Structure 1
Amino acid sequence: MILLFKTIIDINGRLGTFLWGYPMIVTLFLGGLYLIFRSRFWVYRNFFYIFSQTFGKPRANNGSTDNSISPFQAVSTALAGTIGAGSIIGVSTAIEFGGPGSIFWMWMAALVCMTTKMVEVSLAVATRELDGEGKLVGGPMYYISKGAKKPLLAKLFAFFSVIAILGTGGLVQANSISDSINDLSGLSLRTSGVFIVLLMLLVLVGGIKRIGAFAEKIVPFMAIFYVLGSIFIIFLQRNYLVDAFKLIISDAFSNESLVGGVAGSGVLMSVRWGLARGIFSNEAGLGTAPMAHATSHTDHPIRQGMWGAIEVFVSSLVICTMTALVIITSGLWTDPNLSGASLTAAAFSKSLPLGRLVVSVSLILFAFTTAVSWCYYGQRSIFYLTKSDKASSYFKYIYIGFCYLGAIGGLKFAWNVADTANALMVIPNVIALVLMAKPFYRLLKDFDSYKNSSKKGNYKWTYDNKWKSYFED
């Protein structure tokens, strides 16, 4: 049995490594670039407008209804799922195995994925519908089936997403939480697992409304707390900041790994780890966050889609960059005895005695909010596959059980499962997004006309048959 388990881990690790090599490079970069060209570089031409309509006035149009949550609650829920262990452990893992150059490719992935995320969020809002309880639901399953007219592909996505959610949301995040609690207080992994289960139950019982209210309160606090702590440490290590940027850029195109002076990682390893950890951090192309955005009370799909672009900017270009700069400027990333959360904690505590506390508290908050959000995503996928509210409700308890297993399990297996399953979600989702590039561009033109109209106050997007006109050939 032990030999079989080890064999499964080895096969899964090899599959994850393969999928996050050339297959993901081609799928994500070429798919993302295609969407950028078909949208006429809309995200980049309108970046300041996007910022003014999101963080510039985050509470605008913030109402909610009985069947929806507010736009700010929707983006908070999505960010809760986005800013997780990948923002701390994922970055240190990328540097450890892909070298500092992996951060450069993480940036490149983020710039491309800002459009990808906006496309999937907008399409999710455009094609959403009401479930049996009269609540708004949507996501890749719906736009792949209704928009791209590929129902089999939609079911494959839903199936792969359930596996990914159990691995990424349940195993990985809970593992990160229990390790952090153990490091912070010495509490055993099993005891930490019990606490995680109890807290998950308290939040998840209330459904998306309670998840949205929870995320709205905790996400802004945890992001600001972590960024301010990172900026302070980077300031203390500012003498090494310029060299850190030079190292990131030069290593991105180097044929040798700088990790421990061992040759052989090459550009492909930097790209592979930068992409894998970047996607794990910002979720663009995965299709998970659109499930939360689809429940938002908004006046137009593109307006909610803009929040998707900002999510990638915040998670990858701000928070992940903060983590990377702290680690690289500390000089500890070459220490073979440090990896994962321990590397990040050591880097934060080198110049700041309370740095380990900042990492531990942030990781607990990041991972817990991600675990909560991903449970909802799993419930939506189960509902799509079974059309059963009971099955969706039961999944919640299965998911919490996986959280307990993750809390007492090993990190290597959890990350391997997450990488493989995430890749299997990306492929059908990005294929569908490419197929729907034309409908998305039609939505963009509709929004441009709307925002420039003097009658925009009377505009109201409906969700009966209006979406069909944008997907007709």
Structure 2
Amino acid sequence: MLDWMDSILGGAVYFPFLLLGVGLFFTIYLKFPQIRFFAHGWRVITGKFDRSRDPGDTTHFQALTTALSGTIGTGNIGGVALALFLGGPAALFWMWMTAFFGMTTKFVEVTLSHKYRVKTEDGTMAGGPMYYMSRGLNMKWLAVIFALATVLSSFGTGNMPQSNNIAQAMEATFGVPTIWVGGVLSVLLALVILGGIRRIAAVTSRIVPLMSVLYVLGAFAVIFYNIENIIPSFIAIFAGAFTGTAAIGGFVGASFAYAFNMGVARGLYSNEAGQGSAAIAHASARTKEPAEEGMVSILEPFIDTILICTLTGLVILASGVWHEKHQNHFDRSDMRIISGVYDDQIDTDRAQLSRYLNNQDHNIEVFEGQIDVVAGEPEPGNYTILNARSVAENVSILIGGDTPYNGTLDVANGRFTRDNVQVFGESLIHSAALTTVAFTRGFFGDFGQYIVAVALLMFAFSTAIAWSYYGDRAMIYLAGPRSVMPYRVIYVAGFFIAAIADTTLIWKIAAVAIVLMTLPNLLGIMLMRREMKETVNKYWAENQHKLPDSKD
């Protein structure tokens, strides 16, 4: 069901063009605000224009760090790795394009959301696309759809992927069982989010700068260690941008369409430009000038994607781990058994596998039948086990955690029907696991994996904190302030459950949830394009003295 939903939403041909098209339209319509107002955004967050008497709950800097904590998360560590795993180096180019045009999209959605924010019964500010939709467009039905999608996405985007990736990293790096990781962090999450936006802002304004510095230092340790591979990495990024990525190592290649779709989709997940989520955090900023807060938001995609995601991408590409096979545990949703014997080092086999994995015309069929297993090793037959889009090697099958399986396993629709067996072997890896391995290929050696684990912990935990705020603002809009506490309890419970769930399944939920928010938001900002231009022009006319860098 999730695969089908993704195929008509984020995975559909139209979606990347729609997302980039809206950003391109506003970039031209507003005369490249991501360039004109970039320097001013930096001046605003220094506090130069802060006024304590203005309405709001947080400073410009706190609003930015809260929004950044919602975007800088698994998307920067696991999401970039997933994009490169799926689309090859070319996917990073399309992540950049999503960020560049996304800077304008973010500027628009934040400005409009701040303009139509309201003060709630408890005295705090509430804003977001649902408010400009209902108060600016008089389209309450669209606002309700967006608010419902925000609640769903708070779990699918901000909660579950973060918890799952933290748990997986902690188990892989420190050997801590996922259930313990989920339990401890759920308690800490509850302690933070029950304090509301002021406590959330106080925590994230400290975590975001610290975690960013730590991660950047670790990334440079790998990049400079593999400095001779940096220029070839950039060449690979640009060379495949419009043609796709050729096969190399265990990577069987990716078409242009696949790299384009994956790059745009992961770019959206990383910086959330167009999703409308960060606009909820920026609505709390203490200012009377909506456009001023919009200029602050321009910095988000730049910091999130053009800086941090690029560092992650260069670490993975320069280290070469993205096309190498590694020993790992096969998730059920990552594994598929196909009919026929294929070798990814044979050109003709690799070409067929590439067409199959890139959803192009192919003649490969999934395997149906039985596989004999002796002492944990599957006997040879007319089948090939694929895992993580690669031909699996040295496969072993266990039961009960550590006992080699003996007997026959039934296979239906390319999957084992028995769900209590564990499959291990060598294959490509993706998400946070790929980034973790890449960080060990630098000056820090194996210690690099601890940098990823700690950074992921802080990145992802702060994202879960920020998204709880997005969700409770949506609940206030839908059902009033009394609905916030039940929502927070369920949010914490979801965070715990996701820690022990299937990683690939979690990513599929995220892919669907994020687009359900994005589509109504893109429609809304397009309908308010004239008002947006008027708002910017008015700010320009009244505050030109603040913009010495902009002369026209």
Q: Kindly tell me: are residues 22 and 62 of structure 1, through their superposed partners in 2, closer, same or farther at Cα, counting changes over 3 Å?
A: farther
**Native 8 Å contact 2:40 2:295 kept in 1:** no
CA–CA distance in 2 between the matches of 1:179 and 1:250? 34
| Cα displacement string for residues 421-442 of structure 1 (whole angstroms, at most 9, x for unaligned residues) | 1111110000101111111111
Please list the CA deviations of residues 381-437 of structure 1 after superposition, one character each: whole Å capped at 9, or x if unmatched: 111111x21212210010111101111111111110110111111100001011111
Alignment match, 1:243: 232
**Match for residue 183 of structure 2 among 182, 194, 197:** 194
**How many Å apart are 1:453 and its aligned residue?**
5.0
Query: For residue 91 of structure 1, what is the aligned residue in structure 2?
Result: 80
Mapped contact 2:169–2:433 kept (Cα < 8 A): no
**1:378 paired to 2:476:** no
Q: Partners in 2 of 1:264 and 1:225 — Cα distance?
A: 33
Shift of 1:58: 5.1
**In 1, Cα distance between the equivalents of 2:109 and 2:32?**
16
1:460 maps to what in 2? none
1:375-454 superposed matches below 5 A = 375-386=468-479, 388-452=480-544
TM-score normalized by the length of structure 1 = 0.90
**Aligned CA distance change for structure 1 residues 295 and 262 (closer, same or farther; 3 Å):** closer
- In the alignment, the residues of structure 1 paired with residue 4 and residue 124 of structure 2 have an alpha-carbon distance, to the nearest angstrom, of 41
Q: 1:47, CA displacement in angstroms?
A: 2.7
Q: Which amino acid aligns with 1:348?
A: F
Matches within 5 A, 1:141-160: 141-160=130-149
Name structure 1 gaps, 5 residues minimum.
1-10, 455-473
Greater relative CO, 1 or 2 (CA 8 Å, sep 6+): 1
Letter in 2 for 1:40: K
Residues 125 and 283 of structure 2 are in contact (CA less than 8 Å); yes or no, is this contact kept in structure 1?
A: yes
Q: Report the Cα distance in structure 2 between the residues aligned to 1:90 and 1:310, rounded to whole angstroms.
A: 20
- Residue 40 of structure 1 deviates from its aligned partner by 1.9
Percentage identity across paired residues of the two chains: 34
Q: Deviations over 1:223-253 (max 9, x none)?
A: 1111122123211111111000000111222
Classify 1:104/1:255 alpha carbon distance in 2 versus 1 (closer, same or farther; 3 Å). Answer: closer
User: What is the CA deviation profile of residues 327-363 of structure 1, one whole-angstrom value per residue up to 9, with x for unaligned ones?
Assistant: 0000111024322212111111012322111111110
Q: Which residue of 2 aligns with 1:51?
A: 42
Q: Structure 1 residue aligned with 2:438, among 347, 356, 379?
A: 347
Q: Distance in 1 between matches of 2:508 and 2:533?
A: 36
Does 2:234 match 1:258?
A: no
* Aligned-CA RMSD value: 1.8
Indicate how the Cα distance of structure 1 residues 391 and 162 shifts in structure 2: closer, same or farther if over 3 A, else same. Answer: same
Match of 1:33 among 19, 24, 35: 24
Does the 8 A contact of 2:44 with 2:60 survive in 1?
Answer: no
- The letter for the 2-side match of 1:158 is A
Q: Distance in 1 between matches of 2:506 and 2:52?
A: 38
Pairwise CA distance, 1:173: 0.6
* AA matched with 1:33: L
Instruction: Indicate conservation of the 8 Å contact 2:54/2:288, yes or no.
Output: no
Unaligned segments of structure 2, at least 5 residues: 326-426, 547-552
Counterpart residue number, 1:321? 310
Instruction: Please list the CA deviations of residues 129-168 of structure 1 after superposition, one character each: whole Å capped at 9, or x if unmatched.
Output: 1112222111010011112222111111111111111111
Are residues 59 and 364 of structure 1, via their aligned partners in 2, closer, same or farther at CA, if it must alter by over 3 Å?
farther
Q: What displacement does 1:42 show?
A: 2.4
Cα deviation for residue 314 of structure 1 reads 0.2
Does the C-alpha gap of structure 1 residues 256 and 228 become closer, same or farther in structure 2, counting only changes over 3 Å?
closer
Preserved CA contact (<8 Å) 1:63 1:69: no
1-side partners of 2:288 and 2:216: how far apart? Answer: 32
Secondary structure (helix, strand or coil) at the match of 2:152 reads helix
Q: Closer, same or farther in 2 for the Cα pair 1:116/1:62, shift >3 Å?
A: same
Equivalent of 2:127, from 121, 132, 138?
A: 138
Q: Distance in 2 between matches of 1:398 and 1:40?
A: 44
- Structure 2 match to 1:215: 204
The Cα offsets for residues 88-117 of structure 1, whole Å up to 9 and x where unpaired, read as 000000000111100000001111100000
Identify the residue that residue 453 of structure 2 maps to in structure 1: 360
Quote how far apart the aligned CAs of 1:260 are. Answer: 4.5
Secondary structure of 2:157's counterpart equals helix
Q: Which of 16, 40, 52 is matched with 2:6 structurally? A: 16
- The amino acid of 2:151's aligned partner reads V
- In our comparison, the structure showing a higher alpha carbon Rg is 2
Residue pairs, 1:96-115, within 5 angstroms: 96-115=85-104
Residues 305 and 250 (structure 1), Cα distance of their counterparts in 2 relative to 1, 3 Å cut: same
- Give 1:46 shift: 3.3
Tell me which of 211, 216, 220 is aligned to 1:231.
220
Contact 1:64 1:296 in 2 (8 A): no
Counterpart pick for 1:117 among 87, 90, 106:
106
Shift of residue 258, structure 1, vs aligned partner: 3.3
Matched, 1:81 2:70: yes
Asked if structure 2 preserves the Cα contact closer than 8 Å seen for 1:140 and 1:154, the reply is yes
State the secondary structure of the residue aligned to 1:296.
coil
**Counterpart Cα distance in 2 of 1:347 and 1:196:** 26
Measured at CA, do residues 262 and 213 of structure 1 come closer, stay the same or move farther in structure 2, by a change above 3 Å?
closer
Contact in 1 for aligned 2:153/2:514 (Cα 8 Å) = yes
Secondary structure of the structure 1 residue equivalent to 2:511: helix
Q: CA contact under 8 A between 1:31 and 1:431: conserved in structure 2? A: no
Q: Offset at 1:26?
A: 2.7
SS at match of 1:349: coil
Aligned AA (2:219): S
Q: Is the contact made by 1:19 and 1:420 (CA closer than 8 Å) also made in structure 2?
A: yes
Q: How far apart, in 1, do the equivalents of 2:492 and 2:285 lie?
A: 25
Is contact 1:160-1:421 (8 Å) kept?
yes
SS in 1 for 2:24: helix
Match of 2:298, SS state, is helix
Inter-partner Cα distance in structure 2 for 1:171 and 1:412: 11
Which residue of 263, 266, 270 corresponds with 1:274?
Answer: 263
Aligned to 2:348: none
Task: Show the counterpart of 1:465.
Answer: none
- Partners of 1:86 and 1:208 in 2: how far apart? 23
The structure-2 alpha-carbon separation of the partners of 1:313 and 1:305, relative to structure 1 and needing over 3 Å to count, comes to same
Cα distance, 1:17 vs. partner?
Answer: 3.7
Q: Which has the higher helix share?
A: 1
Letter of the aligned partner of 1:279 in structure 2? Answer: L
* C-alpha distance in structure 2 between counterparts of 1:142 and 1:48, whole Å: 29
